[in-house]
Amino acid sequence: MAIHDTFATDEAAEILHTEIASAPEKGSRHHALYATSGKRILDLLISMLLLPALLPLMLAIWLIIRSDGSAAIFTQPRVGRDGRIYACHKFRSMVPNAERVLEEMCACDPKVAEEWVKFQKLSNDPRITTIGRILRKTSLDELPQILNVLKGDMSLVGPRPFLPAQRDIYDRAGGRAYYSLRPGVTGLWQVFSRHDTTFASRVRFDEAYSANLSMLADLSLILRTAKVIFLRTGA
């Protein structure tokens, strides 16, 4: 499949041509070494370096969210490597009863239900709190996932984790590579196309990432994520 057919932006095509396209061939010794051990070592090193700086910020965010009397950390099951279910941690950015509110919205408005089925997100979601909008815009709601990285449930870079209920949609779209990787805090889809693609189309990003896995690609995506956060172009 042509690069421009696969990715939604010219910038995503450029990264394939440069950082990711320079990766060792899949199946080679270097590719296998990074996939099996190098990537995990990189995750631990970067996470341990970042943790002292992130903890005070995480505490401040926790206190702000907690001020409404509800839990600050939102934990939800996600599908991980080999299809294993794990508990994914995020700062709560929605009202406490968000899932029930979504059910009611979908039942009352067919257009909302159609948008949710297609994208698995809403472009104008009233469930998101004021502080939640800030956290999402800056991607700070993802910070607790560093705990998932340290535990080995996730990687700093990888496919976007999805819910067990979304697995059938993903599988029907032909997704396979996801299950051989740890889900990522960031990745190709998160950086390049989180606003303008359907849920099922995420498969192509995951397949391309898996096929071109390398340390150089991961470091590039981490730096690009910092740029996205700085420019506040998050979900």
Q: Is residue 211 part of a domain?
A: yes
Q: How far apart are CA 153 and CA 138, in angstroms?
A: 23
**Residue whose structure tokens are 């096929």:** 211
**Token digits for 53?**
């700086």
Structural domain count of the chain = 1
Q: How far apart are CA 63 and CA 20, in angstroms?
A: 39
Residue 235, pLDDT score: 52
Residue 68, pLDDT score: 86
- Cβ contacts of 135 within 8 Å, gap of 6 or more: 61, 91, 93, 141
Residue 14, pLDDT score: 55
Q: Is residue 154 part of a domain?
A: yes
Q: How far apart are CA 199 and CA 218, in angstroms?
A: 22
Q: Is residue 100 part of a domain?
A: no
Q: How far apart are CA 21 and CA 214, in angstroms?
A: 9
Residue 76, pLDDT score: 92
Q: How far apart are CA 202 and CA 176, in angstroms?
A: 11
Residue 36, pLDDT score: 86
Contact present, 234 and 137 (Cβ < 8 Å) = yes
Q: How far apart are CA 132 and CA 128, in angstroms?
A: 6
Q: Is residue 141 part of a domain?
A: yes
Residue 2, pLDDT score: 39
165: containing domain:
10-93+128-231
Q: Tens digit of pLDDT for each residue in 78-114?
A: 999 999 999 999 999 998 888 888 888 898 888 888 8
Residue 13, pLDDT score: 44
Residue 24, pLDDT score: 58
Q: Is residue 114 part of a domain?
A: no
Q: Is residue 139 part of a domain?
A: yes
Residue 18, pLDDT score: 58
Q: Is residue 5 part of a domain?
A: no
- What is the residue-level pLDDT of the chain in tens, covering all 235 positions? 434 434 443 455 455 445 555 555 665 667 788 988 999 999 999 999 999 999 999 999 999 999 988 899 999 999 999 999 999 999 999 988 888 888 888 988 888 888 888 888 888 888 889 999 899 888 899 999 999 999 999 999 999 999 999 999 899 988 899 999 999 999 988 887 665 667 777 888 898 888 888 999 899 999 988 887 776 655 5
Q: Provide the whole-model pTM.
A: 0.80
Q: Is residue 102 part of a domain?
A: no
Sign of CA dihedral 189, 195, 197, 200: positive
